[in-house]
């Protein structure tokens, strides 16, 4: 069961990685061969996190493992971290985000019927909800960062 999942995850991550690498080439001028080691590192980190989530009995989302593994392997104290950092620098984060949102656009078409049923008042409130949380957090961050003289 796990083996089958790992196989499927690997194939899908490779497809996604290939699409992102081409986007990375067209949009950010990184030749795919130069992006290869970085993409491979990221895929291995993802697989490690997905497998850990599957194997360990605790119920923690796989992205938490993946984030922590990514941080651990790139910390300066970790031997070889300079290669991880150097290779992954070639993968522009925006090049990863574009295919995510392309897939998301196709998937959320299914929510469209629900969306058009929302009244205009809901849409107005929703925009203020997002602006509210964004500005609220930014204001607090600004005050604390200035008090600490970081910015």
Site for another protein in 77-116 (CB under 8 A): 78, 81, 84-85, 88, 91, 93-112, 114-115
14 backbone φψ class: left, alpha, beta (φ>0; ψ -120 to 50): alpha
Q: How far is the CB of 60 from another protein (least distance, A)?
A: 10
Q: Give me the numbers of helices (H) and strands (E) for the chain, helices first please.
A: 7, 0
Binding flag, residue 31, another protein (CB under 8 A)? no
Q: Can you tell me which of 36, 40, 43, 51 binds another protein, judged by CB under 8 A?
A: 43
Binding flag, residue 139, another protein (CB under 8 A)? yes
Q: In degrees to the nearest 10, what's the CA dihedral of 5, 10, 13, 14?
A: -150
Q: Which is nearer to another protein, 33 or 122 (CB)?
A: 122
In the three-class reduction of DSSP (H, G, I as helix; E, B as strand; rest coil), residue 23 is classed as helix
Contact assessment for residue 70 and residue 45, using Cβ atoms and an 8 Å cutoff: yes
Report how far apart the first and last C-alpha atoms of the chain are (Å, whole number). 50
Sign of CA dihedral 104, 86, 46, 72: negative
Q: How far is the CB of 39 from another protein (least distance, A)?
A: 8
Binding flag, residue 20, another protein (CB under 8 A)? yes
Q: Which residues in the 117-136 window bind another protein by CB under 8 A? A: 118, 121-136
- Cα 6–84–90 angle (5° rounding)? 95
Q: How far is the CB of 24 from another protein (least distance, A)?
A: 8
Q: Which is nearer to another protein, 33 or 100 (CB)?
A: 100
Judged by CB under 8 A, the number of residues near another protein is: 94
Q: Can you tell me which of 16, 32, 36, 37 binds another protein, judged by CB under 8 A?
A: 16
Binding flag, residue 33, another protein (CB under 8 A)? no
């Amino acid at each position: 069961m796990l083996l089958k999942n790992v196989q499927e995850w690997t194939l899908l991550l490779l497809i996604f990685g290939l699409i992102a690498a081409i986007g990375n080439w067209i949009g950010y001028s990184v030749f795919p061969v130069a992006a290869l080691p970085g993409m491979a590192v990221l895929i291995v980190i993802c697989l490690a996190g997905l497998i850990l989530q599957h194997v360990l009995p605790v119920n923690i989302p796989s992205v938490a493992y993946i984030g922590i593994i990514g941080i651990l392997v790139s910390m300066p104290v970790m031997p070889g971290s300079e290669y991880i950092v150097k290779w992954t620098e070639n993968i522009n984060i925006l090049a990863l985000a574009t295919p995510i949102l392309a897939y998301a656009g196709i998937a959320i078409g299914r929510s469209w019927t629900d969306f058009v049923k929302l009244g205009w008042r809901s849409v107005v409130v929703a925009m203020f909800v997002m602006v509210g949380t964004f500005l609220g957090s930014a204001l607090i961050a600004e005050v604390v960062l200035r008090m600490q003289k970081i910015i």
